[in-house]
Amino acid sequence: MKQLNYSSKKWKIIILIFTIVLAFVALLQVNNIVVQIQNSEKEKIKLWVNAISRKAELVSHTETFFKTVRDEERSRMTLLTEAQQAFMELPLDQDVSFYYNYLSANKTIPVIITDDENNITWYRNIELDKDVTKLEGQLLAEFTQEEPVHYTAYNMHFTLYYKESKIYTDLRKVLDDFSQSFLSEITNNSVFVPVIVTDSLRKNIIASGNIDTKKLSNTYDLRKKLNSMSEDNTPIEIILPDDCKAYIYYEKTPLLQALQYAPIIYIFIAFVLILVSYNLFRTAHDMEQNQIWVGMAKETAHQLGTPISSLIAWLEYFKAKGLEDKYSVEIQKDLTRLETITHRFSKIGSIPELKDENILNIIQNAVNYLQSRTSKKVTFITNFPETNSDVMVPLNAYLFEWVIENICKNAIDAMNGSGTFTIIVTLDEKHIYIDLCDTGKGIPSSLYKEIFKPGYSTKQRGWGLGLSLAKRIINEYHKGKIFVKYSVIDQGTVFRIVLNKRR
């Protein structure tokens, strides 16, 4: 039998290990896939950063180019002013073709020259109505975006006004569109990178994408978010039109952020798999043990039935012969006891019938029986509540008496046949508490739960069924609880049973 149990246990362990190994292999495969996705996601972000950096350099170079064009237009206007001044101051007999050609060479930059009363004296590359003689209103606003150039000729003061050439304006629009598309490309990226573009002071958001900016409405939250993003990646510095410096902050994609918790999830899944596997095998083991105990109990009841019937017949025969005496009475008691035991064993594994019983009477009957068959060195004490009514509880009297007897017998063994066994019953509105106290050797706290497991016993002849059956009877059949309330080594142990009152 032991060899069979060992073989069965061995195969269960092998199956458990095989299941765990399969689970870990599956997790490793999933982990490899996750790592590949992480690497792919990181590579996408790297390519995006490189593309943004190169495009930022292009925007910066384009802005430098337009700045150079603007400076050149400014220089041309200065030279144009000097040419205009020289042209007007030269005597009429001088050759003015050089200055005239220079002035005529300007075919792109709109120019207006006024006297000191803002009367238009000359213009070029702009169409004006015939009735427009003064530089004022909207026309003046258009031509004062650039700093005018003042000069003197013939003792008169003149001012040269100019504005961007049409070519420069068109190019400027192209640059603005290019910059806007650049920002749009940053924020609405195809790799779903969360991005924030701030101004040079890093206090205002110019643009953002793949991120909820509603939570960044105040400076503190924005600064906290930017610091968090800069810890992961160095911000990219870019130059926007009009020499506006900006910074691009970015962080991991939502997918990459989610995948960073993958190892924790793996560990959790592995733990759950191991726990579930262990509980399944433990449950199977417990069910197997329960089936063994139930089978043994029913077989014991069956085996006891025949000799008991025979003894009853013999006792009736003695009575018929007139041999009834005090010994026959005691034999009758023991036969009744054997019938009770047989009835108890036959109930194991099936749902017993519960009836409303006075629990105080049942406890007292069990104590009376044990006291008459126990050493006089063991003192029995019952401490019942003072009540004028019966304490009715739904229970099975045969099985409940068995619980009391099992605990009492264990207590007598723990006291080595000498000591005090006390039963204290207390009540509240819903429950009945039964404390069974002995003065034995005590139980280590580490064994409080172990002693209720089937097969656990400290006795050489014990099967380890008493407390296991007691727990089954109380917990499963009577929906109550039984546990070690406390125990002190070499001083004693207190078991507590908690039952529900009749409703």
Q: What is the pLDDT of residues 374-404, one digit of tens each?
A: 888 999 999 998 876 788 899 988 889 889 9
Residue 231, Cβ neighbours under 10 Å: how many? 9
Looking at per-residue confidence, does 497 or 200 come out higher? 497
Residue 497 has pLDDT above 80, yes or no: yes
392 half-sphere exposure, CB direction, 13 A CA radius: 8
Residue 163 has pLDDT above 80, yes or no: yes
- Residue 357 CA: distances (Å) to CA of 246, 361, 362, 394, 402: 86, 8, 8, 6, 15
Topology of the domain comprising 352-500: Heat Shock Protein 90 (3.30.565)
Q: For residue 292, what pLDDT is reported?
A: 59
Q: For residue 488, what pLDDT is reported?
A: 92
Nearest to 358 by CA among 463, 175, 501, 492: 501
Return the top range by mean pLDDT from 209-223, 327-341, 428-442.
428-442
CA dihedral 14, 15, 20, 25 (to 10 degrees): 100
Q: Which secondary structure element, helix H or strand E, spans residue 245, and what is its range? A: strand 244-250
pLDDT in tens, 393-448: 999 888 898 899 889 988 988 898 899 999 999 998 889 999 999 999 999 998 98
The three-class DSSP label of residue 48 is helix
**How many degrees, rounded to 5, is the angle at CA 389 between CA 385 and CA 390?**
80
> Can you read off the two tokens belonging to residue 136?
């004022």
Nearest to 164 by CA among 154, 176, 156: 176
The ranges assigned to domains in the chain are: 352-500
Residue 133 has pLDDT above 80, yes or no: yes
Residue 429, Cβ neighbours under 10 Å: how many? 5
Query: What's the average model confidence in pLDDT over 365-375?
Result: 85
Would strands 378-383 and 419-427 be described as parallel, antiparallel, or unpaired? parallel
Residue 463 has pLDDT above 70, yes or no: no
Residue 96 has pLDDT above 60, yes or no: no
Confidence of residue 13 (pLDDT cuts 50, 70, 90): confident
Encoded amino acid at 483, one letter: F
- The residue length of the chain stands at 503
**How many degrees, rounded to 5, is the angle at CA 25 between CA 21 and CA 30?**
145
Could you list the beta-strand ranges (E) of 319-441: 355-358, 378-383, 392-395, 419-427, 431-437
Confidence of residue 489 (pLDDT cuts 50, 70, 90): very high
What is the distance, to the nearest Å, from the Cα of residue 137 to the centroid of all Cα atoms in its chain?
67
Q: Please report the sign of the dihedral spanned by the C-alpha atoms of residue 37, residue 39, residue 44, residue 45.
A: positive
